[in-house]
Structure 1
Amino acid sequence: MNPAAEPRLAEPTSRLLNLDAIDEVDAEETKMTAAFDVLATQLEGKPEAEAQDMLQKASSESMENHSEMVGGFIFGMLTDGSRAEQASWFRYMNYVVRDGYAHAISVLRYIVGLSRFSRMSVPCRKQLLWLLDQMIALSVPGMEGVVMTLLRQLRGGDVSAENIGLISGTLDLLMRHRDWLFSYSRLIATSFYVYIRLLLEHSKFKTLLDREVAFCSCLIREKFLECSEIGRDLVRALQDVARIPEFEQIWRTLLVEPRKLSPHCKGIVELLKRPTHRHFLQSRLTLEMEQRLLFIVERLSWERHRRNLLWFVERYLSATESDALFADVVRYIIGVYHPSNEVLASNIVPRYVVIGGLLRFIKTNVAAANVKLAIFYDYLFYDPAVDSIMNIEPAILLMYRSVDKYAYITGTLLEFLLFCVDEYYPPLQEVIRRHVQGALADILQKGVINSLVPIVECPAIDTHVRDLARVTLRALLTANPPTAATPLAGATPDLFPQAVESFSQKLSAEDGELGMDSEGDLVTNGVTADAQIDSTQHEVDVLLTDDDMEDAEANAAVHSGSAAASDDEENAEEALPEGESLWLFGGSITEYRTGCRTKDMAKATKALRDMLVVYATM
């Protein structure tokens, strides 16, 4: 065929989003565009009084007219011209509103909630923030829901100019309307949780970081009761920022004199015993991220999920700044997505497999430690009366199903859990021990697994870890020995496949298949294995557009980032990056003992450094 004769895709005509030729313009945007164009034509050159009379008369004819006009004016404010023109469209919208801005709120929630929001042009984002500012100033009912949705669009692990601008602009909005913000307890807590997690990524943006710290420290001091509604993940969030001076003092106050923060605050134990509301765990994933992750855990089989998980990691978790987001994604999988009985009975990939798959891409000991804490966090103060068994199921299944083929995963996780029992909060060591034992007892009683013996007695587990587990879990091991009815704890094949598919660089124009690289290395919790890349083509589970896939250079950077660390990277890691967590990389204790036994003092010294990382405030 003559290439010149091939049909060309029409350029997208969106004024709101930066679309590619293959993208479709949103149907609602098309309607709003048409409505705005009609209004702009009708109003051109009209005096103010005449324009007001015409608009009010037209909007009174029917609610359909009213809705179209409101949507058209909002679209004009986002996409058309200067600030003076924005003000004109806003004034015109106020002339026609007859429902207390209910339809305007509906339109704004739709726009802010677009799954393709990240592709909104920068000028439109700025004009959106201006419009929200105007609506909040008018105390329009329902604006708290719009801002709550906007907080979901602040991307973690993304330090692009566009995203930083949106994060900064939203922060300005919240700080400017502080009194309004303080009227909505759920919005206070959500704003705090989103920004205290985001600020971990902004060390290179000092001005923004200082404002985020000031904002969050103000909220926690002045609205502690509202922030405490977050639950136990409030403590996890505060731990990660405890070395920032403003939060160090708050952390000390919470531990020593909690009533200074609020007369109703009984201390850190009260927070730790309160399960985190799913809303807050959900708030850390953008709407697009959530949609893509749910596609994996709700629709894909064991055999088909790996390619999409690889794509998900490359898309959202590949940047250096994504370390904190790994833990938040794990918390979402554990605390927000609870599969239905229908899904549990199907061949859909289990949650623990997805979590295990994510572990492969963690690049630092600090991130690995924080992810393991995220996995076990609900064990430490588990109460069957208020906690869900679904929150502790993934961790035990990941250990249980890894015994056969991936015992180092079982050993690392078991060691970390036992370490948390003794060291998470020493004054409550026995309390935490009882809660962990209670969590495991509930697991056994409800039949998630039938016995802990296959985990504890796994021959590949370090002797010290096994001995410690036998002491800590003695009653459970004795009461639930393995029987003939106990299924083998072997992993389902390919939990951590030796043949790993790499990220594609381009889509095949013919059938949408993903291209493959030839070979690469795989790191799983510090264990390096050469992996021959599977060059076989498989059915694509999601049609990934060119926009979804990064260029070759970006893919190469991602691939090398998840591969075996270079000598330079290992040396850099020894410096213990800022923000290190109290919670050790699970293998550090074992690595230290092994290094001492084999006289590998460099390895032992590095492991010892990792083990000695503690908060100065603890």
Structure 2
Amino acid sequence: MSTSKLLRICSLDAENPIDSSLREAFSSLHDRLKPPFPLTIPSPSEYSQLNLALAYGILTEPHLAKTHLTHLHAIVIDGYNNFTTILINLSNESYPKLLQIPKSQLLWMSSKLVQVAAVKVETLIISLLRQIKVGDFSEPNLWLCSELITILANNWDWLLEEPLIMKSSLFVFLRLLADHYRLVGRPELDKLKRMEIEFCIRVLREHFDICLHIGRDLIRLLQDLVFVPEFKDVWMDFLSDPGKFGVPVFMDISQLYRTRTPSHYFSLTITPEMETQLRFLLNHVKWGSQKRYQAWFAKKHFCTPGSETVIVDIVRFICCAHHPPNEIIQSNVISRWAIIGWLLKCCKKNYFLANVKLALLFDWLFFDDKVDNIMNIEPAMLLMVNSINQYIDITHTLLEFLFLLVDNYDLQRRELIFKGVSNSFSLLVRKGVVHSLESLTSCNQLSPVFREKLASMISSSDLATMKGSSEMCQRQVKIAPTTKCNVDSGKVSLANFELNDAGLQ
């Protein structure tokens, strides 16, 4: 196997089709890539091959990249669609294997395509945003953050024409900033953190009308940043002076609470590789076989310091972006709730554990069946019910946390949150996700206080009259010994949840 100038290839790796097509086109057209360039108009097939050759030249020959770019500008007849598609495919399928020179050239070329507003360049930027790994503080990952935030900040006028990129970038960098700001002892990070803060604050302050479309997860991300002075001011305006955002329709933070975040946002903070592996786990791995796949996944993604922070993003992805069809639900494939139970076990620090539980229960707080999807709240319900017999500590800690949220998440809007949780329980019974809530209300192992609070919610939503009357979904529910989660069942305090710093009071 020949040595690739593009990708890091091991001896056992199969031939990479993208690498092969780019290399072959470059080899066959090498003599035509030097000036003077021919003035003839290429045929469609020749044009396609020429784009491949130029892409390879730009990525592997930085000393000639400007010449190749000039050539590309001279021949382009499709708004750069062909060329941009090549880079998108390369980013989606092979970015982790790219050598450093091609990576640097890919980012350089992306900035040039933004400057000419190339067709599909917004898709390329989103693809590159997805290559940033949450919880990864390595130099290559931080370099990618820096390159992308620079491209966005330097092309503000283009960004204004691309609201999807603006919203997606804000979502990603708010999430990253929560991790980066807590990272101390790394002076080289100061510039990156400052750029992230300035970018996010500018988007929020100048274009909040666009930000509103992100929905309630914007609140979840921002609450992790209230210890940053610039964002503390944003919070104060959210709560006391919404008019400062210059959006007449935005009059109260509850409007964001009631807006469900579109599912595509939850793919932004996990890499394409991680998404592929998660979907395999949730679509193909059978009960009883999951332990070795979980161990492999944890070894690959949770083994470095700080990496467990990505569990929050995985849980949001599973709840809100991966909704299995009925044939999967009714099969012997491991259930979403069981995977989430295992992920809870992977959290070693109380702060991360609290954030994961918030990610799991977040949609419960504001649930409205007119706008929300029952699949977003299903995993938490099934995890609580199916843990009663063998893993009561899980049921206990989730109910405790849920009631803590109802009572403390936002004191001024407690009624709205109580209604959201009550609506969640009501719909889950009405749609047959669970037969009834009797398994919880009659469980002597649970605290009498919890059972009393649960009964209050049932009463408020008239669930008592629904017991046993719902049309049941045919769900195959099993508990495998390998899914045991020894989650700390100690009392969740406001300090653990950091409501004193990150809540809305």
Following superposition of structure 1 onto structure 2, how do residues 181-330 of structure 1 map, counting pairs within 5 Å?
181-202=159-180, 203=183, 204=186, 205-263=189-247, 264-330=249-315
Match of 2:29, SS state, is: helix
Q: Does 1:68 align with 2:49?
A: yes
Q: Does 1:391 align with 2:370?
A: no
Counterpart Cα distance in 1 of 2:476 and 2:280: 27
Counterpart Cα distance in 2 of 1:35 and 1:140: 22
Q: Report the CA distance shift for 1:220/1:327 in structure 2 as closer, same or farther (over 3 A).
A: same
Q: Does 1:78 align with 2:59?
A: yes
Counterpart Cα distance in 2 of 1:329 and 1:262: 34
Which residue identity does 1:127 align to in structure 2? Q
Counterpart Cα distance in 1 of 2:154 and 2:218: 25
Q: CA deviation at 1:262?
A: 2.8
Query: TM-score scaled by structure 2?
Result: 0.92
Whether the 8 Å contact between 2:62 and 2:105 is mirrored in structure 1 is no
Q: Which residue of 2 aligns with 1:492?
A: 478
Q: Does 1:588 align with 2:488?
A: no
Q: Deviations over 1:570-608 (max 9, x none)?
A: xxxxxxxxxxxxxxxxx325xxxxxxxxxxxxxxxxx68
Q: Report the CA distance shift for 1:36/1:424 in structure 2 as closer, same or farther (over 3 A).
A: same
Q: Report the CA distance shift for 1:471/1:495 in structure 2 as closer, same or farther (over 3 A).
A: farther
Counterpart Cα distance in 2 of 1:382 and 1:422: 16
Q: Report the CA distance shift for 1:426/1:613 in structure 2 as closer, same or farther (over 3 A).
A: closer
Counterpart Cα distance in 1 of 2:335 and 2:5: 41
Q: Does 1:132 align with 2:110?
A: yes
Match of 2:50, SS state, is: helix
Counterpart Cα distance in 2 of 1:348 and 1:467: 35
Q: Deviations over 1:189-242 (max 9, x none)?
A: 000000111112222422211211111111111111111211110000000111
Q: Deviations over 1:25-53 (max 9, x none)?
A: 32122121111123333455xxx4xx22x
Higher CA-based Rg: 1
Match of 1:473, SS state, is: helix
Q: Which residue of 2 aligns with 1:146?
A: 124
Counterpart Cα distance in 1 of 2:309 and 2:234: 21
Which residue identity does 2:6 align to in structure 1? L
Whether the 8 Å contact between 2:288 and 2:482 is mirrored in structure 1 is no
Q: Report the CA distance shift for 1:351/1:170 in structure 2 as closer, same or farther (over 3 A).
A: same
Q: Report the CA distance shift for 1:35/1:486 in structure 2 as closer, same or farther (over 3 A).
A: closer
Q: 1:21 aligns with which of 1, 4, 11?
A: 11
Q: Report the CA distance shift for 1:122/1:13 in structure 2 as closer, same or farther (over 3 A).
A: same
Counterpart Cα distance in 1 of 2:494 and 2:242: 33
Counterpart Cα distance in 2 of 1:288 and 1:297: 14
Whether the 8 Å contact between 2:287 and 2:332 is mirrored in structure 1 is yes
Which residue identity does 2:230 align to in structure 1? E
Q: Report the CA distance shift for 1:490/1:65 in structure 2 as closer, same or farther (over 3 A).
A: closer
Which residue identity does 2:158 align to in structure 1? W
Match of 2:366, SS state, is: coil
Aligned positions, number: 495
Counterpart Cα distance in 2 of 1:403 and 1:449: 13
Q: Does 1:38 align with 2:28?
A: yes
Counterpart Cα distance in 2 of 1:375 and 1:393: 10
Match of 1:525, SS state, is: coil
Whether the 8 Å contact between 2:332 and 2:476 is mirrored in structure 1 is no
Q: Report the CA distance shift for 1:609/1:281 in structure 2 as closer, same or farther (over 3 A).
A: closer
Whether the 8 Å contact between 1:415 and 1:465 is mirrored in structure 2 is yes
Counterpart Cα distance in 2 of 1:612 and 1:17: 44
Whether the 8 Å contact between 1:588 and 1:608 is mirrored in structure 2 is no
Match of 2:306, SS state, is: helix
Q: 1:368 aligns with which of 336, 353, 360?
A: 353
Counterpart Cα distance in 1 of 2:138 and 2:90: 21
Whether the 8 Å contact between 1:157 and 1:317 is mirrored in structure 2 is no
Counterpart Cα distance in 2 of 1:94 and 1:77: 13
Whether the 8 Å contact between 2:397 and 2:491 is mirrored in structure 1 is no
Q: Which residue of 1 aligns with 2:500?
A: 614
Whether the 8 Å contact between 1:588 and 1:610 is mirrored in structure 2 is no
Counterpart Cα distance in 2 of 1:199 and 1:608: 23
Counterpart Cα distance in 2 of 1:294 and 1:345: 17
- Flag structure 2 segments of 5+ consecutive residues without an equivalent: none
Following superposition of structure 1 onto structure 2, how do residues 374-453 of structure 1 map, counting pairs within 5 Å?
374-453=359-438
Q: Report the CA distance shift for 1:132/1:17 in structure 2 as closer, same or farther (over 3 A).
A: same
Q: 1:93 aligns with which of 52, 64, 72?
A: 72
Q: Which residue of 1 aligns with 2:488?
A: 526
Whether the 8 Å contact between 2:7 and 2:19 is mirrored in structure 1 is no
Counterpart Cα distance in 1 of 2:348 and 2:104: 35
Which residue identity does 1:26 align to in structure 2? N
Whether the 8 Å contact between 2:387 and 2:395 is mirrored in structure 1 is yes
Which residue identity does 2:45 align to in structure 1? E
Counterpart Cα distance in 1 of 2:444 and 2:33: 80
Match of 1:392, SS state, is: helix
- The alignment's C-alpha RMSD in Å is 2.4
More helix by share: 2
Q: Deviations over 1:380-409 (max 9, x none)?
A: 111111111111111100001111101110
Which residue identity does 2:427 align to in structure 1? D
Identical aligned pairs, as a percentage?
30
Query: TM-score scaled by structure 1?
Result: 0.76
Whether the 8 Å contact between 1:200 and 1:324 is mirrored in structure 2 is no
Q: Which residue of 1 aligns with 2:88?
A: 109
Whether the 8 Å contact between 1:401 and 1:490 is mirrored in structure 2 is no
Q: Report the CA distance shift for 1:111/1:285 in structure 2 as closer, same or farther (over 3 A).
A: same
Q: CA deviation at 1:611?
A: 7.2
- Flag structure 1 segments of 5+ consecutive residues without an equivalent: 1-9, 499-522, 528-586, 590-606
Whether the 8 Å contact between 1:372 and 1:416 is mirrored in structure 2 is yes
Which residue identity does 2:479 align to in structure 1? P
**Which structure is higher in RCO with an 8 Å CA cutoff and minimum separation 6?**
2
Whether the 8 Å contact between 2:55 and 2:83 is mirrored in structure 1 is yes
Counterpart Cα distance in 2 of 1:612 and 1:166: 30
Q: CA deviation at 1:371?
A: 0.8
Q: CA deviation at 1:104?
A: 1.0
